[in-house]
Amino acid sequence: MSKPPSEAGGSALERVNVTKTFLPPLGEFVEYLKKIWDSVWLTNQGPLLQEFEQKTSAYLGIDTLQFVANGTIGLQLALRAADVLGGEIITTPFSYVATTSSILWEGCSPVFVDIEPDSLCIDADKIEAAITSKTKAIMAVHVFGLPCNVEEIESLAHQYGLKVIYDGAHAFGARYKGRSLLDYGDISVCSFHATKLFHTVEGGCIITKDRRIARRVELMKHFGHEGDNHQMLGINAKASELQAAMGLSYLPYIEQNIAARKQITGWYDEYLDGERVTQLKHHPDFEPNYAYFPVVFRTEQQLLNVLATLEAKNIFPRRYFYPSLNTLPYLENFQHCPISEDIALRVACLPLYLGLEKRVVADIARVINEASDV
Ligand SMILES: *Cc1c(COP(=O)(O)O)cnc(C)c1O
């Protein structure tokens, strides 16, 4: 750690949020819009959607993906396509609410298994004890783009005949053992929401190597029918040509965006006092995407003090993820997850986006390094 430079003073800062959506050059987006105006093809498996699916798969180094309307409906379709409705789904309490709500929305029962304090992902060593005769799947999250223990999860799933669905909403561009993190599990789902590292305004994708599951997703996302042949119950989960246009104009910039975030992450690493906050440990075989910069404070009071001091400077980190999802008020029974409940009180994501200035990072680090616990 090196001491952050002292405050420059002077001009008031413009508001700094936890993230700032990347927008590609407008002219490049407009070029794609012209194609839509020429073809008058706005949705339903159009040419831009096909080009987007193909280019995004190539970027990720996977065979195919299916572009859908958003990540949440992607998770819902994944549960249906994997044929696990009505069962217990083992999942993590430390995530965005959509992980749990998609399980409930599909009429399944979430069974929470506590997290590892080092990665904040589900603790694979605790999964086996939660398996019952009703367990049908494991829905784990690569939270903040950090990898779950994919090997242990795969071996448990194999042993007990469970499906593995990864909520990879944060995992775009992250790689583990040389492969995209989205290439693991029976199904992986990513989100392309505007707050995510890579986005299509709203959107998401479903990735699977299982041809039967892929076929079911293909039908289900389009009302379950092909022409007049109604094969199964479906819904509308299609993404439009306009969403594909945003994705196609952003994709050429993803690497440079990740590189910029890596640099900013380096500034935080340089300035933050490691005694004050815990940063998450990275696995040696893991290539991060620098989507988030989570820090775990020693106490909730320390976190609240830091948030209040930064807010006065017009800087707004976010409490991600709070509260722990096992405490949601609409769950039927309370399942205690002490590690997740504790960490959810003490964790926040610091601002991280292309264009964030080094002096702002220094300012944030100084506030954290000097914050009191009381
Ligand atoms: C954003 C997010 C989702 C939902 O994705 P949408 O595209 O917004 O529907 C699901 N899970 C996690 C962990 C997320 O962060």
Is 169 close to ligand 1, i.e. is its CB under 6 Å away?
Answer: yes
Q: Is the CB of 145 under 6 A from ligand 1?
A: no
CA distance 243 to 44: 12
This prediction's pTM = 0.96
144 touches ligand 1 (CB under 6 Å) = no
pLDDT along the chain (374 residues), means of 10: 69 83 98 98 97 98 98 98 96 98 98 96 98 98 97 98 98 97 98 98 98 98 96 98 98 97 96 83 88 95 95 95 97 96 97 96 95 72
Q: Please indicate whether residue 325, judged by its CB atom, sits closer than 6 Å to ligand 1.
A: no
Distance CA 74, CA 213 (A): 13
Element (H, E) at 179: strand 179-180
70 membership: H or E segment, kind and range? none
The alpha carbon of 218 and the centre of ligand 1 are apart by a number of angstroms equal to: 21
Q: Is 225 helix (H, G, I), strand (E, B) or coil?
A: strand
CA 99 to ligand 1: nearest atom: 11
Nearest-atom index, ligand 1, CA of 141: 13
What residues does 222 pair with on adjacent strands?
236
Tokens of 197: 């590292």
Position 374 scores a pLDDT of 61
Residue 8: per-residue pLDDT:
58
Contact between 342 and 277 (Cβ < 8 Å) = no
pLDDT at 281: 72
Q: Which of 98, 85, 102, 99 is nearest to 113 (CA)?
A: 99
Q: In this structure, which residue's CA is closest to atom 10 in ligand 1?
A: 98
Say how many Å lie between the CA of residue 190 and the centre of ligand 1.
Answer: 8
Paired sense of beta strands 88-91 and 109-112, if any: parallel
Question: Distance from the CA of 139 to the center of ligand 1, in angstroms?
Answer: 13
Q: What is the pLDDT of residues 283-309, one digit of tens each?
A: 789 999 999 999 999 999 999 999 999
DSSP 102-144: HHHHTT-EEEE-PBPTTT-SB-GGGTGGG--TTEEEEEEE-GG
Q: Which residues of 18-44 are buried (b: 16+ CB within 10 A; e: fewer)?
A: bbeebebeeeebeebbebbeeeeeebe
Count the neighbouring beta carbons within 10 Å of the beta carbon of residue 124. Answer: 20
Residue 236: DSSP 8-state: B
